[in-house]
Amino acid sequence: MAKAIVQAVLAVMAFGIQLGGVQAADAPKSAETVKIGVGLPLTGPLAFLGNEYLKGAQVAVDRVNGSGGVLGGRKIELVVRDHKGVPAEGLAVAKRLVTEDQVAIFMVDLPSSVTIAAQVVSKGSKAVQLSALAYAPDVTDKGNPYHFRTCTRAEESARALGEYLASLPGNKTIAMVAPNDDYGRGDLGAMKAVFKKLGKPEVVYEDYYERNQTDFNTLLLKMKSLNPEGYYINVRWPASGIALQQMDDLSMLKGKQLSSSVNFFNRDLVKRAGSLMEGVVIGVTWAPMLMDVESQKFVTAYKAKYGDEPNDSASQGYTPVMVAAMAIDKAGTATDQEKIREAVKNLTWDSPQGKIKFNDQGDSGVPAHVLVFKNGQYQVVK
């Protein structure tokens, strides 16, 4: 993946793209919109996450504009581009948002490899970049002062879920599976580190599935043969529904502790396989049943706009747009990137994800949560 990113950077340079202090021109009228750039996988295998993120972002736009906008009455406007989840595309989208669209702040998100690729633009142009669905440690460990992450880190999500699983009685051994990509390998790596530190459960099996895989029987049979007390199944929708059904067909669910990532926090999965999820423990960064003020404001606004309950991805799209709007307003400018960067750096806000207060690395410090699916619904346990 690192090689792909380097190749993408070289390709952009080969076409003569010059980065360095790009800023949008000051708006001549207070009525002119303030543009916020958004790059997401709106097509391809991660499109279901990207489109939920975008819906949450639009709720934030409605809230800001409905409250008077920014900078004395200017509305914010999202400039949205599709990068398909490909790092090279993400880099090109970031460049276009900054140089052509002249956005005040941009988010190029999902997965982490795309966010990392886009940092070539934020670091080179000194344009502020926010990310909200990039959990990998490398996202904020590269020393980019113009990048800020509004979600939690992978280690924090693993810690919250891992500690809860380790506390459960009779959960001494576990078999684990995740996607065969940077996200999946990072996820299992973080979980194993937590289990090792706590001394349990012992990981007796780990494996990875391909992104387009729909038959998990061979992998599941290997897991079953080891007879672990628990399973960690990090499988994305819609393959998650297939995996659960195949586990049930193989009589793997009865008497076992099933756990997963945010990929099992999915209303479509509940409709398809809800009865098979009874007792599953899930690590998430946000859930609509959190009762803090900002979470409930978001839930109410989302339901009013879309007629449905938001999911984790929608909340992640909402938060960075709110942060961007507050920072621009506090900075008093949509063009001075240094002032905007300082405003983001010094911002504090009780967001739906938790209290945001960025550290020197650009991490927000927000927590992770644990849910359990019980009696047909998700419940917060941590």
pLDDT at 8: 46
pLDDT of 173-231, one tens digit each? 999 999 998 788 888 999 999 999 999 999 999 999 987 888 999 999 999 999 999 99
Q: What is the pTM of this model?
A: 0.84
Same domain assignment for residues 89 and 141:
yes
Range 236-245 average pLDDT: 92
| Residue-range definition of the domain harbouring residue 275 | 155-284
Helical residues (DSSP H) of the chain, grouped into ranges: 2-14, 47-66, 87-99, 112-125, 154-167, 182-198, 217-225, 239-249, 267-273, 293-306, 312-331, 337-345
User: What pLDDT, on the 0 to 100 scale, is given for residue 248?
Assistant: 96
Considering the domain architecture, whether residues 77 and 180 belong to the same structural domain is answered as no
Residue 353 lies in a domain: yes
Question: Does residue 372 form part of some domain?
Answer: no
Q: Are residues 179 and 311 in the same domain?
A: no
Q: What is the pLDDT of residue 267?
A: 86
How does pLDDT run across 246-283, given as a tens digit for each residue?
Answer: 999 999 999 999 999 988 998 899 999 988 999 999 99
User: For residue 166, is it within any domain?
Assistant: yes
- Same domain for 50 and 110: yes
pLDDT averaged over the chain?
89
User: Higher pLDDT residue, 136 or 306?
Assistant: 306
Residues 272, 64: Cα–Cα separation, whole Å:
36
Residue 28 has pLDDT above 50, yes or no: no
| Same-domain pairing of 160 and 96 | no
- For the segment 32-88, what is each residue's pLDDT rounded down to a tens digit? 999 999 999 999 988 989 999 999 999 999 999 999 999 999 999 999 999 999 999
